Every structure is written in C-alpha cells, then in structure tokens.
C-alpha cells in the first residue's frame, strides 16, 4: 500500500472524530506527524476541535492544542477561533481567554466565540462587557453575535441587558433586523421568560413571516401570562397558515385548555408524542385540572405500557398524577401513587414532596401526616439544602391545614434555629398556618417580624398577609399590608387586595384598586365581578362582566359562578339561563356543581320548582350541599305540595338539608 496523502489522513481523522473515537483520531494525527511524510494542515486539527464538546472532552482538546504547538504552526486565525470555540464548549473559559489574549489578529468570529464561551459558562456580565469592548474597537456585530448574546440574556432572564441589545440591533441594522426569525424567536422568548408580554407581542407583530419557533414562543407568552383565549386564538391562526406546531406550542396550549372536548381534540393531534415524558405530563395535568382524573391515569398507564421494560417515566410524570388525584379530592390515591413512585426508585423532588404533603392535609389525618413527614425527613437527610427547606415548608403548611398549630410552630422554630433551612416560603407557610387556625393577628405580627429581620416579602407573602388582614374586623390593622409591594405594579397582589376589600364589604375601595391596575388580566376581572356579586351588587356585577367580555377576556369557572349568582340575586332569568347554556361554547368552560347550584337557585327564586328539580336531577354528578339547599329553600318559599326533596336529601351527608326538608314537609302537611 502506498503512502497516504494529506487528504487520506484527514479523512481517517475525520471519520474517527465524527464517530466519537477521539483516541483513535488523535493517534492517527500523531502518526501522521511522526511519519513526517505529510504535514498536517488546519483541517487536520479543526475537524478534531469541532468534535470536542463537553467537559469530558477537555483533555482531548488540550492534547490537540499541544499538537498544534508541537507542529510549530504560526499564529493561525482560523485555528485560534476553533480553539476558543472548543474551550468554550468544554467549559474552560480561562483557556479560551488565554488563546484570545495571545491572538495577533482578531476578527468578528474571534469576538463572537469568546462572547459565547463566557455566556455559555455562566459569565454573562463578562460576555456583555466583551461585546461593548468589541464595539469600541470598531468591530461590527452580526446576527450570530446578537443571537449569542440574547441566548445568554434568556438563560439569565436578564431583561435590561436584553433591551439594550434589542436597541443595538435596531440602531445598527434598522428595525428590519428583528424581522429575522432567529433573533425574533430569541427576543420573544426573552420577554416571555421575563414576564413582559407587551414587548414579546411587539416583536412578534413586526416579524414578516414568523416560523414555528416564533409562533410557539408567542403562544407560550400568552399562556404563561394567563391569556388562555389569546393563546388558543394564536394557535388556530398558526394552524390556518399551515405551520406545524412544535412541542412548545402543544405544551403551552394544553396548559390553558379549559374544555374537555377541546382537550381531547388536542390530545388526538399529538398521538404518538404522548410517549414523551414532557407531553404525557402536560396531558395528565390537563385532564386532572378539568376533573377527568381517570383519563390522567390512562395517559400514565399507556406511557408505562409503551415504555415497557425500559420504563423511564420521570419524576414530573409521577408528580403530575399525584397532583391530579390530590386536586380532585382523592388524597388516598394520591398517596398510593407517591408510594408506587418510590417503589419504582424514582426519587421525589420538591413538587412530589409538596403534593404528598398536600394530600395528607386534605385527609386531615395527623398520624399519616407525621408518618409522611418523617419519611420525607429520612429521604432528605442528604446535604441538598433545597430538599431540607422544602420538607420544612411542606410540613408547616401541612400541620397548619390539619389544625395542628403547635406542630407547625415547632417545625417553624426548629427551622429558624437551623438557619440554613429557611427561606421566604417558610415564613409564608407559618403566617398562613396562623390565619388558617383563627389567629390572623399572630400571622400579621409574624409578617412584621419577618420584615424587621430584613427578609423581603414576595408576592405570595403579600397575598397571604392580605388574607389574614381580611379576617380582622378592625380592617385598619391591615393598612400596612396594602401599602407594601407597590400594588399597582403587581396584578396578583392587587387581585388579593380586591378580594380582601370585598370580604370586608368595601366594594368602592376594591373598585379603586381594580381601576389602578395598569395591566388587568382575566383573574383581576373575575375578582372584581366576584366582589360585586358577593356583596349583593348584582347589577354592577352583570355590567362589569359584560365589559370584561367586550374587552376580550374569557371568563373562568369562578367568574361564571359569580355572574350566575348575580343573575339569581337580581332575578335575571333571561341572562342567567343564557350564560349557563352558552358557557361551554362561548367560554370553553364545562359546568361544575357550583354552576348548577346557581341556576337551581335562580329557578327556585322565580318559582320554577319543577324545572329546578329537573335540572338538579340532570346534573352529571351528585347534588352538592349548595344545590340541595337552593332547591329546598325554593320548595319552602314556594310551598308546593308536589315538591319532592327525597332524592336530593338521600345523597347528602350534612344535616342542614334534612332540617329544611322537614320544614317543607311540615309546612305542606305532607
């Protein structure tokens, strides 16, 4: 066999490197160097450098760098750039910086590679400073430079540097530059992750022909900001344009699905994809949220069957099923799934622990609660601080819900003394435990203590403290809570204020808070509608609800309960029946027991007892206490001899309906 030429050697090196055989590739390069019959060129080295990615390949990269030095190759811009890129991918920013600093000549690729090395390895500020230095030295960035910087901003959720880079894009290249789908997708995702829906929409609207990634990013922006109807509408527009949705689009749309029919349609579209853990998790969550827990279990079981012996259902899949059972008042089954999860040697995470604790709280079984707590403590005896904090927070919340305030306080005090097992959520859990157990004043005192120790309250703290303040008759005691947090900048806290004021009967002040919210979402609107309805202002509730619909916000289940209650209070039969009949078509909301109860009450109030009875019998679930009481109250005021409450009373386990039923019989002398 004749001597190999350079092309042959490079082909051998490339074949080995591209198939992961780095040792063999480097040996081939060393053989070529030792034979001295052929001199390696830049391609001999670059193909090896391009294949090195990840810290496990750093040693190979260093050896290749040494071989370049051994061959006495003069400073080569192409190879220097490849070395910087390789070191960045392998996690060695220091070595990349040494190569960069020693370069006699740098081009745009050099700067961009060094920026990428810093951004990818957690040195985000250094990457931004390097970018500014590049501009000062007269090197003009291109789309790859900007995409690299925006990816770093996205990773750090750094919106202000992102805005600066966005402005630079427009300054250097004009507004047409952000029509680029790659940059557009990065910008939409950045603003989405940072909670700036308006800026995300502004970028998306200027994209000339957005691709699937841009559409998905914008759909996710709407979904994560609570604008479910807008997310659905955008998804439909994407469909009409013939753009195939990707995983992010489906995950986002499943998270906002409020109708079982719509949810099933989407499920049918992703048949096959539900073998993936992320999609299966989203489906389980959707069915659980809509009350169809058996379908959640079906998705879970099919995933197990399809994965077979290679069952690799991750912790998110298991946790989503635990949560589905827990939120549908089936805590024992939730705990059975938790136990099965551990039997399968799937290590629980923070959400798993919290879900198991929540299930214990729902049972109100302190013996079981203590057992689960001890189990979590034993599992979390490792030094992972976040698990220790979670176990503490979940235990405090659980004991609070189980009405064992002393045990909650003991867990809290132990955490405070340990110091390293406390965060803001720990304080939140204890404030909430006080409020839940009839001690709102103690909860507010703890809130003040928290602030005095320099611990910054978060959104959840303010909401919990506001709930505690609402329980105190001397409402002024809660005034400080109202001032905290610059309410006009946080719609979630402002919504909690509306709820607190409503419970205190202060609807005028609640409306002022509502009017001051700069970016009201559907939850804010629903809270104000509920505030009016709960305080007997049915006409105002109906007017505001109409305005809400005109503004394009889709009512949720709670808002429709409130508006049906307002129709009942005002005797507005026409609108009440219309809203109930159209709630699935107009708002994609399936009726729940509370909706039926409101309409039963409406029929009963206007004397339509037979119609109320028929509607109660047609409910696709047992009549709950509210529906039974509404019907029985109607029967009492109607005084009709034909009234029959036996069927309703038979399914209830509380005394009040039976007492009222007895009164009806007595009045009617049945």
Distance CA 406, CA 35 (A): 81
Which of helix, strand or coil describes residue 135? helix
Cα 272 to Cα 169, 267, 276, 460, 553: the distances in Å are 40, 10, 8, 38, 33
Read off the pLDDT of residues 225-261 as tens digits, 9 standing for 90 and up. Answer: 888 889 999 999 999 999 999 999 999 999 998 888 8
Read off the pLDDT of residues 116-141 as tens digits, 9 standing for 90 and up. Answer: 999 999 899 999 999 999 999 999 99
Is the per-residue pLDDT at 425 higher than 70?
yes
Output the DSSP codes for 304-369.
HHHHGGG----HHHHHHHHHHHHHTT-HHHHHHHHHHHHHTT----HHHHHHHHHHHHHHT-HHHH
- Selected residue with higher pLDDT from 419 and 55: 55
Is the per-residue pLDDT at 654 higher than 50?
no
What pLDDT sits at residue 312? Answer: 78
What pLDDT sits at residue 178? Answer: 53
Cα 128 to Cα 93, 121, 125, 456, 529: the distances in Å are 15, 13, 5, 29, 47
What pLDDT sits at residue 87? Answer: 94
Distance CA 541, CA 502 (A): 13
Is the per-residue pLDDT at 1 higher than 70?
no
Read off the pLDDT of residues 533-588 as tens digits, 9 standing for 90 and up. Answer: 888 898 898 899 889 888 877 777 788 888 888 888 888 888 888 888 878 777 76
- Give the tokens for residue 537: 């202002």
* Phi, psi angle pair for 580, to nearest 5°: -65, -40
- Give the tokens for residue 346: 């799937």
Tell me 141's DSSP state.
P
Mean pLDDT over each residue of the chain, to the nearest integer:
81
Look-up: residue for tokens 């290249």?
Answer: 173
Length of the chain: 670
Which of helix, strand or coil describes residue 134? helix
What pLDDT sits at residue 661? Answer: 33
- Note the Cα 172 to chain centre separation in Å: 36
- Note the Cα 399 to chain centre separation in Å: 26
- When pLDDT is averaged across residues 80-91 and rounded to a whole number, the result is 93
What pLDDT sits at residue 635? Answer: 46
Tell me the pLDDT band of 3, cut-offs 50, 70 and 90: low
The residues, ordered by sequence, that sit 6+ positions from 17 with a Cβ below 8 Å of its Cβ are 25, 47, 48, 50, 51
Within 471-592, residue ranges assigned H as helices are 479-483, 491-503, 507-516, 522-534, 538-550, 557-570, 573-587
In contact, 234 and 215? CB cutoff 8 Å: yes
Is the per-residue pLDDT at 388 higher than 80?
no
What pLDDT sits at residue 479? Answer: 52
Cα 4 to Cα 13, 33, 36, 110, 323: the distances in Å are 12, 12, 11, 33, 64
- When pLDDT is averaged across residues 637-666 and rounded to a whole number, the result is 40
- When pLDDT is averaged across residues 86-97 and rounded to a whole number, the result is 94
- When pLDDT is averaged across residues 448-473 and rounded to a whole number, the result is 82
In contact, 625 and 294? CB cutoff 8 Å: no
Distance CA 457, CA 484 (A): 9
Cα 566 to Cα 497, 522, 530, 585, 631: the distances in Å are 21, 18, 9, 21, 17
Read off the pLDDT of residues 265-288 as tens digits, 9 standing for 90 and up. Answer: 999 998 778 788 999 999 999 999
Q: How many CA atoms lie within 13 A of 137 on its CB side?
A: 13
Tell me the pLDDT band of 409, cut-offs 50, 70 and 90: very high
Tell me 432's DSSP state.
H
Distance CA 536, CA 565 (A): 10
What pLDDT sits at residue 175? Answer: 62
Distance CA 68, CA 638 (A): 97
3-state class percentages of the chain: helix first, strand second, coil last, to nearest 5: 75, 0, 25
Read off the pLDDT of residues 145-168 as tens digits, 9 standing for 90 and up. Answer: 999 999 999 999 999 999 999 999
What pLDDT sits at residue 647? Answer: 45
What pLDDT sits at residue 420? Answer: 64
């Amino acid at each position: 066999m004749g001597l190999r030429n350079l092309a042959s050697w490079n082909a051998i090196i490339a074949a080995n490197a591209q198939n992961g055989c780095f040792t063999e590739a480097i040996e081939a390069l060393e053989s070529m160097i030792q034979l001295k019959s052929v001199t390696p060129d830049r391609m001999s080295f670059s193909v090896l450098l391009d294949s090195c990615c990840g810290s496990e390949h750093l040693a190979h990269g260093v050896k290749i760098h040494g071989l370049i030095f051994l061959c006495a190759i003069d400073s080569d811009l192409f190879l220097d750039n490849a070395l910087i890129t390789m070191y960045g991918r392998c996690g060695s920013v220091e070595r990349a910086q040494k190569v960069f600093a020693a370069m006699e000549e740098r081009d745009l690729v050099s700067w961009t590679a060094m920026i990428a090395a810093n951004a990818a390895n957690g040195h985000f500020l250094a990457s931004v400073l390097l970018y500014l230095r590049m501009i000062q030295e007269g090197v003009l960035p291109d789309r790859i430079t900007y995409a690299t910087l925006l990816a770093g901003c996205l990773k750090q959720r750094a919106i202000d540097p992102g805005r600066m880079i966005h402005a630079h894009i427009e300054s250097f290249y004009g507004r047409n530059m952000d029509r680029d789908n790659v940059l557009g997708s990065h910008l939409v995702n950045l603003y989405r992750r940072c909670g700036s829906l308006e800026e995300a929409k502004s970028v998306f609207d200027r994209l000339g022909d957005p691709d699937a990634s841009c559409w998905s990013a914008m759909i996710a922006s709407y979904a994560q900001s609570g604008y479910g109807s807008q997310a659905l509408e955008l998804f439909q527009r994407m469909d009409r344009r013939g753009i195939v949705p990707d995983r992010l689009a489906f995950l986002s749309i499943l998270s906002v699905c409020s109708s079982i029919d719509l949810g099933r349609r989407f499920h049918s579209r992703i048949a096959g994809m539900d073998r993936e853990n992320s999609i299966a998790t989203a489906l389980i969550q959707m069915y659980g949220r809509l009350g169809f827990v058996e379908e959640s279990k079906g998705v879970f079981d099919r995933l197990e069957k399809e994965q077979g012996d290679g069952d690799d259902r991750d912790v998110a899949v298991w946790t989503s099923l635990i949560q589905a059972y827990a939120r549908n008042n089936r805590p024992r089954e939730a705990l059975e799934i938790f136990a099965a999860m551990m039997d399968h040697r799937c290590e629980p995470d923070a959400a798993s622990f919290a879900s198991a604790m929540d299930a214990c709280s729902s049972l109100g079984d302190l013996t079981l609660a203590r057992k689960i707590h001890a189990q979590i403590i034993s599992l979390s005896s490792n030094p992972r601080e976040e698990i220790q904090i979670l176990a503490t927070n979940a235990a405090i919340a659980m004991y609070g819900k189980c009405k064992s305030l002393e045990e909650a306080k003991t867990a809290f005090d132990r955490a405070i003394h340990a110091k390293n097992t406390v965060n803001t959520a720990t304080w939140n859990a204890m404030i909430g435990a006080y409020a839940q157990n009839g001690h709102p004043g103690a909860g507010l005192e703890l809130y003040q203590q928290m602030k005095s120790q320099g611990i910054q309250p978060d959104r959840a703290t303010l909401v919990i403290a506001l709930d505690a303040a609402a329980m105190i008759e001397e409402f002024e005691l809660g005034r400080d809570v109202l001032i905290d947090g610059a309410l006009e900048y946080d719609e979630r806290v402002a919504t909690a204020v509306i709820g607190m004021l409503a419970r205190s009967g202060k609807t005028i002040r609640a409306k002022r808070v509502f009017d001051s919210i700069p970016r009201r979402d559907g939850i804010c609107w629903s809270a104000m509608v509920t505030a009016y309805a709960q305080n007997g202002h049915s006409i105002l509730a109906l007017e505001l609800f109409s305005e809400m619909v005109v503004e394009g916000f889709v009512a949720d289940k709670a808002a429709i309960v409130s508006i049906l209650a307002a129709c009942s209070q005002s005797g507005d039969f026409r609108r009440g029946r219309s809203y109930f009949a159209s709630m699935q078509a107009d708002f994609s909301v399936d009726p729940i027991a509370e909706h039926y109860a409101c309409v039963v009450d409406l029929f009963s109030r206007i004397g339509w007892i037979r119609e109320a009875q028929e509607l109660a019998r047609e409910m696709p679930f047992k009549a709950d206490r509210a529906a039974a009481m509404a019907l029985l109250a109607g029967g009492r005021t109607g005084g009709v001899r034909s009234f029959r409450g036996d069927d309703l009373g038979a399914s209830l386990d509380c005394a009040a309906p039976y007492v009222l039923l007895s009164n009806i019989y007595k009045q009617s002398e049945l």
